[in-house]
Amino acid sequence: MSCARSAEQEQFAASLHGLLAAADAPAAARQWASGDHAAGLALWRKLAGLGVTALAVPERYGGLGAGFGDVMVACEELGHHAVPGPVAETAAAVPVLLAGLADERLCARWLPGLAAGDLVATLAVPPWRPYAADADTAGLILLAEPGAVRLAAAGARHRSVDPARSLSEVSGREALAQGPATAAAVARAREAGTLACAAQLLGAGRALLEASVRHAGQRAQFGRPVGAFQAVKHQLADVAVGLEFARPLLDAAAAAMTLGGHVKGVAAKGGPASEAGDGDGPTATRDVSAAKVACTSAAQRAARAALQVHGAIGYTQEHDLHLWLTKVRALAGAWGSQSEHRARVMAAVAAHGGLPWS
Amino acid sequence: MSPEVGRFRAEVRGWLRAHVPAGPLPSVDTAEGFARHRAWERELAAARLSVVSWPPEYGGRGASLLEWLVFEVADAWIGAQAYRLHTFATVGRLAAGGTLGAEASMGKVFWSELDVALHETALELLGPRAEQRGGEDGRWLDGYLFSLGGPIYAGTNEIQRTVIAERLLGLPR
């Protein structure tokens, strides 16, 4: 069993990296933080041009019906460039929710706009996600609870540690879907959003490591680049190890999720469904939680090391580093805390037997 | 969440629903408030809910151990799964004609640190039996003692980290 990325997926990631590097995503994030969303939304439309917003939308609604592996490649690259806005919501959770509700009327109303990149969407999924992220920029706000999915209105707005992000309380209005089938669609959307968030964290962690390596190679102290000192080298080596071993968990979770849904995609590998081996359901939730725990830990280790290696300059808002540092802190607690995800892993592993209290 | 933790949560929720005072208590600065607060604390203690992380013999429930075990064992599983999946990917690359270079250092550091952490968790679970040599339980001690060599043999982890930093990350020598 191998869930490693295909050559097509590597190319897709490289294209996104090229686009985002050329588009100066940090400048868009700074403007977003100041309340000017124009550059960020323009960036969003450019990403739509490469198919990012269409990946999780079924083909019959103008999407690409891609596998989760492709969605995660995109979300990781958006995290790599600290792209502002409700990324996990618009690129993963909301399209997965609407497609999962399988209501022709709802799908036709919103999925084509999402796929085209014209519609930015967000949602609250209590209890893990009681607030909707970046509701002030969203054309569609949903409140997804096991019993019902509702259109929602944004209420009180809270600032986030990430200046390019806000959290809004929401109140439910018109019910769009109710009944037993709703719970399954909401659960799947929650897993999709959680995994997308994990992918963003992995991407942000990579960016922090790259920035640290660059800085450590340039900044000199005691007549040598600080990166020549073993104390710095070993911190960054540990960051590299953490990121390296978080990735297979992310890829495996994406493969497990793909089993429960669409399998075709722009960059889909030969047979994603047959490679996963385990199946949707308890295994998918376990794998999503394992990926979230590992990606969060790896990104947080990268953030701490990056701040330390950059010294005082990394602590300032003048340096772009803070865009990634604060995003990691915000996303670390979004879509479920570390202890909630560890508890889910534990529950799934214990259910398979072999542990002292199972 | 394990059935045990689930039961504890259900019990606490049920108890709180039945016992939490309807309105906010008066300030502890007043005599009435102080008495009401003390009565509430006594009620909590009677249900063994005021110091849940203390051992049962002192009125607690040893809850912190349970939480800690969820943390440690879940992390051990996640680490082992990551190593397993990473190895599959590496084997796949080698089978396809690829080669293995300095990135092997990352596997060495990850695996050897995981091996020590995993055995430390196992010994913690064994509690007073952890120190035993030989027998069924003693296998974990054997494994632990062997794991301590992991970060040392085949190139210490300090050497490996330097290799990772210089050859993979490109930091200056």
Q: Which pLDDT score, from 0 to 100, does residue A265 have?
A: 35
Instruction: Give me the residue from B74, B125, B165 closest to A236, CB to CB.
Output: B165
In this predicted model, what pLDDT tens digit does every residue of A95-136 receive, in sequence order?
Answer: 999 999 999 999 999 999 999 999 999 999 998 889 999 999
In this predicted model, what pLDDT tens digit does every residue of B59-78 receive, in sequence order?
Answer: 777 666 666 677 788 888 89
* pLDDT value at A236 more than 70: yes
Query: How many cross-chain Cβ pairs, A to B, lie less than 8 Å apart?
Result: 130
Instruction: Say which residue, A136 or B38, is predicted with more confidence.
Output: A136
Q: Which of B138, B150, B2 is nearest to B83 (CA)?
A: B150
Q: Is residue A87 part of a domain?
A: no
Edge to edge, the sheet with strand A140-145 lists: A121-124, A140-145, A148-159, A166-178, A132-133
Helix, strand or coil for residue A74? helix
Indicate the number of domains in chain A: 1
Instruction: Give me the residue from A248, A342, A350 closest to B75, CB to CB.
Output: A342
* Chain mean pLDDT for chain A: 90
Nearest residue in B to A238, CA atom: B161
Residues of B in contact with A284 (CB under 8 A): none
Q: How many residues does chain B have?
A: 173
* pLDDT value at B37 more than 80: no
Q: How far apart are CA A94 and CA A120, in angstroms?
A: 10
CA distance A7 to chain B (A): 12
Q: Which pLDDT score, from 0 to 100, does residue B105 have?
A: 94
Question: Is A335 within 8 Å of A127 (Cβ atoms)?
Answer: no
Query: Residue B138 burial (CB < 10 Å; 0-12/13-18/19+)?
Result: middle
In this predicted model, what pLDDT tens digit does every residue of B139-169 receive, in sequence order?
Answer: 999 999 999 999 999 999 999 999 999 999 9
Query: What one-character-per-residue DSSP string does A97-132 give?
Result: HHHHHT-HHHHHHHHHHHHHT---EEEEBTTTB-SE
* pLDDT value at A341 more than 90: yes
Q: Is residue A281 part of a domain?
A: yes
Q: How far apart are CA B154 and CA B104, in angstroms?
A: 11
Interface of A with B in 167-226 (CB under 8 A): 209, 213, 216-217, 224-225
Q: How far apart are CA A134 and CA A158, in angstroms?
A: 10
Residue partners of A160: CB distance under 8 A and separation at least 6:
A133, A166, A167, A326, A330
Q: Is residue A137 part of a domain?
A: no
Q: Is residue A146 part of a domain?
A: no
Residue whose token pair is 């999946």: B85
Angle at A246 between CA B73 and CA A315, to 5 degrees: 105
Q: What is the three-state SS of A216-258?
A: HHHCEECCEEHHHCHHHHHHHHHHHHHHHHHHHHHHHHHHHHH
Q: Which pLDDT score, from 0 to 100, does residue A356 have?
A: 28
Q: Which pLDDT score, from 0 to 100, does residue A261 have?
A: 47
Q: Which pLDDT score, from 0 to 100, does residue B136 have?
A: 84
CA distance A204 to chain B (A): 17
Residues of B in contact with A252 (CB under 8 A): 81, 85
Give one word for A311, left, alpha or beta, with left for phi > 0 and alpha for psi -120 to 50: left
Instruction: Give me the residue from B83, B160, B165 closest to A245, CB to CB.
Output: B83
Q: Binning pLDDT at 50, 70 and 90, where does residue B109 land?
A: very high
Q: What angle do the packed helices B3-19 and B63-95 form, to 10 degrees?
A: 140
Strand pairing category for A121-124 and A132-133? unpaired
Q: Binning pLDDT at 50, 70 and 90, where does residue A270 land?
A: very low
* pLDDT value at A274 more than 60: no
Q: Which pLDDT score, from 0 to 100, does residue B55 have?
A: 66
Inter-chain touch A237–B93, beta carbons under 8 Å: no
Q: How far apart are CA B122 and CA B137, in angstroms?
A: 10
Query: What one-character-per-residue DSSP string does chain B give?
Result: --HHHHHHHHHHHHHHHHHS-SSPPPPTTSHHHHHHHHHHHHHHHHTT-TTTTS-GGGTS--HHHHHHHHHHHHHHHHHHHHHHHHHHHHHHHHHTT----TTHHHHHHHHHHHHHHHHHHHHHHHGGGGG--SHHHHHHHHHHHHHTTTTTSSS-HHHHHHHIIIIIS----
Q: Is residue A230 part of a domain?
A: yes
Give one word for B94, left, alpha or beta, with left for phi > 0 and alpha for psi -120 to 50: alpha
How many other C-beta atoms can be found within 10 angstroms of the C-beta atom of residue B17? 8
Inter-chain touch A244–B106, beta carbons under 8 Å: yes
Inter-chain touch B164–A241, beta carbons under 8 Å: yes
Q: How far apart are CA A153 and CA B167, in angstroms?
A: 53
Q: Binning pLDDT at 50, 70 and 90, where does residue A272 land?
A: very low
Select the residue from A234, A269, A288 to test the B interface by mutation, using most B Cβ atoms within 10 A: A234
Question: Is A226 within 8 Å of A220 (Cβ atoms)?
Answer: yes
Q: How far apart are CA A299 and CA A212, in angstroms?
A: 13
Q: Is residue A181 part of a domain?
A: no
In this predicted model, what pLDDT tens digit does every residue of A42-76 receive, in sequence order?
Answer: 999 999 999 999 999 999 999 999 999 999 999 99
Distances in Å between the Cα of A217 and the Cα atoms of A316, A319, B159 are: 20, 17, 20
Interface of A with B in 234-263 (CB under 8 A): 234, 236-238, 240-241, 244-249, 251-252
Residues of A in contact with B73 (CB under 8 A): 346, 349, 355
Mean pLDDT of A215-239: 96
Inter-chain touch B171–A227, beta carbons under 8 Å: yes
Inter-chain touch A3–B4, beta carbons under 8 Å: no
Angle at B138 between CA B136 and CA B141, to 5 degrees: 140
Q: State phi, psi for B99 to the nearest 5 degrees.
A: -125, 165
Inter-chain touch A294–B166, beta carbons under 8 Å: no
Residues in B lying within 8 Å of A, measured between beta carbons: 1-5, 67, 70-71, 73-75, 77-79, 81-83, 85-86, 88-89, 91-93, 103, 106, 109-110, 125, 158, 160-162, 164-166, 168-173
Question: Is A48 within 8 Å of A173 (Cβ atoms)?
Answer: no
Question: Is A203 within 8 Å of A13 (Cβ atoms)?
Answer: no
Residues of A in contact with B67 (CB under 8 A): 339
CA distance A49 to chain B (A): 31
How many other C-beta atoms can be found within 10 angstroms of the C-beta atom of residue B30? 10
| Displacement of CA A206 from its chain's centroid (Å) | 14
Q: Which pLDDT score, from 0 to 100, does residue A268 have?
A: 36
Task: Give residue A299's domain range.
Answer: 190-351
Q: Which pLDDT score, from 0 to 100, does residue A267 have?
A: 36
Q: Is residue A228 part of a domain?
A: yes
Inter-chain touch B161–A234, beta carbons under 8 Å: yes
CATH of the domain at A221: 1.20.140.10
Q: Which pLDDT score, from 0 to 100, does residue B103 have?
A: 86
Query: Per DSSP, what are the bridge partners of residue A145?
Result: A148
Inter-chain touch A234–B173, beta carbons under 8 Å: no
Q: Which pLDDT score, from 0 to 100, does residue B67 have?
A: 66
Query: What one-character-per-residue DSSP string does A311-348 give?
Result: GGGGGSSSSTHHHHHHHHHHHHSTTS-HHHHHHHHHHH
How many other C-beta atoms can be found within 10 angstroms of the C-beta atom of residue A340? 16
The C-alpha torsion from B159 through B161 and B167 to B169, rounded to 10°, is -160
Q: Binning pLDDT at 50, 70 and 90, where does residue B10 land?
A: confident
* pLDDT value at B5 more than 90: no
Q: Is residue A251 part of a domain?
A: yes
Q: State phi, psi for A141 to the nearest 5 degrees.
A: -120, 125
Inter-chain touch B75–A293, beta carbons under 8 Å: yes
* pLDDT value at B13 more than 80: no
CA distance A157 to chain B (A): 27
In this predicted model, what pLDDT tens digit does every residue of A30-48 receive, in sequence order?
Answer: 999 999 999 999 999 999 9
Residues of A in contact with B91 (CB under 8 A): 2
In this prediction, the answer to ipTM > 0.85 reads no
